[in-house]
Structure 1
């Protein structure tokens, strides 16, 4: 009788010991011995950059399918100076700002003009490029100023500042305004005779004309066009990222990197 009661008591003691050992194994680990390397830190997150890669020379896809251009080189240099990594993702212009707002992109670089309206929904870096609208027409067109295209069929890239200024001139709902997904498409339409003029940023128009000398185009500038500033966009309120971008931009301007990138794409240093 005594022996039969003793067995469960011993078993209970053994189970208690096992449980104690198990708990000890789940408790706080001993500190890493001196001289032992700590575990490597988690890899830093790569920031996703949205860009509409159809705006040469600012951003486009090269023969390898890689996104390249002035904007791309500027952001790469900024990232290198500020100490973060970036990945560029081709993002259609019409959805690019929504992609930033939804968090699908961490920042945007796509020849984006800083405007008061855009500042309401996103934040911008310091300006990194100065632009102006330019009119492209056929060589024999009777156009000497912006007002002369008021009654013409005009091609613009949808949602750009070119679209805005022509909309103010003709009326936003004017049937003479033909909107395209990209400026090069609008310029091809001008060459084909589908529109009589194209209004777009000077850098893109000049680059297209230089690389398509057989198009029979000429350009018209107008003092009425205000100077525009391009900025790198981040989600509204992301002050930390904005500060890092601005610091990197200041750095590449100070060490001459920005001037070298500018000259590589435009053949001269900025004025």
Structure 2
């Protein structure tokens, strides 16, 4: 009888241990003091970027407004873009920012409601002989590794006889073209528009043609994390209804 009781007790301890382990699974925020961790770029103006040592930007402000509505503090983990989805899947982060909705991504992550619409554009030096997409024959198109910009650069290269080239750092794309290492770059229109606006009359770049794509921006969470997804969507809805979204939008895009 004593052996049976001891055996039952041992089983109970094992079950409690396993239950404790399973309850922690997928909770990256527990390792960060209860905060929700957000995978973030630091070089994606005007959406999210670093200025004077601090993250800022339209998307950053939207996230902060959502966190306030949800009553949940966010902490930001600056990462390379190609680490965002693996970071979600391995519980390194709870939320991924700066993602465009794509069907193949829907298979591995869950997306929030759309918070912004934009498109990809082709950018060349102001004195470039590339006047249209057909002029990309024999040219090198640079884009960000692991992003949809690289996918589109590959499509353009294949269609018009060029070559696609990946770079890990988004802010290195312009420098790569300026130095003559590539002939053109593909990037999201808000970032390009912001760069051209900042440069003013001294800009060294121009956009060729119309938008290549029409894109929807959303936040992503680990597949199946319905509770967090609901919090994000409710927060986004609230700031759209109370005028905070419009205030932030006008601050970044109505200058």
TM-score (norm 1): 0.76
Q: Does 1:189 align with 2:171?
A: no
Q: Which has the higher helix share?
A: 2
Partners of 2:118 and 2:214 within 8 A in 1: yes
State the alpha-carbon separation in 1 of the partners of residues 132 and 236 from structure 2.
Answer: 36
> Can you give the 5+ residue segments of structure 1 that lack an aligned partner in the other structure?
1-43
Partner of 1:41: none
Separation (CA, whole Å) in 1 of partners of 2:145 and 2:236: 29
Superposition pairs of residues 148-167 of structure 1, within 5 angstroms: 148-167=135-154
Is residue 156–residue 162 contact of structure 2 (8 Å, CA) maintained in 1?
A: no
Does residue 139 (structure 1) correspond to residue 126 (structure 2)? The answer is: yes
1:85 paired with 2:43, answer no
Q: Does the alignment pair 1:54 with 2:58?
A: no
Structure whose alpha-carbon radius of gyration is higher: 1
Give, in angstroms, the shift of residue 169 of structure 1. 2.4
What is the aligned partner in structure 2 of residue 40 from structure 1? none
Count residues with an aligned counterpart.
222
Residue 243 of structure 1 corresponds to: 230
Instruction: Give the structure with the larger strand fraction.
Output: 2
1:159-238 correspondence runs (5 A):
159-171=146-158, 176-213=163-200, 214-222=202-210, 225-238=212-225
1:151 Cα offset (Å): 2.9
1:119-151: per-residue Cα shift (whole Å, max 9, x none)? 111000001010101111122323343343243
Instruction: Provide the secondary structure at the position in 1 that maps to 2:135.
Output: helix
Question: Does structure 2 conserve the Cα–Cα contact (< 8 Å) formed by 1:55 and 1:182?
Answer: no
SS for the counterpart of 1:143 is: coil
1:174-228 deviation digits (Å, cap 9, x = unpaired):
98322112332111111222211111100111112222343421112335x2310
Equivalence for 2:114: 127
Deviations 1:214-259 (A, max 9, x none): 3421112335x23100000000000011011101101111111111
1:105 maps to 2:87:
no
* TM-score after normalising by structure 2: 0.81
Alignment partner of 2:100: what SS? Answer: coil
Partner SS, residue 212 of structure 1: helix
3-state SS in 1 of match to 2:182: coil
SS of corresponding position for 1:183:
coil
* Counterpart residue number, 1:72: 60
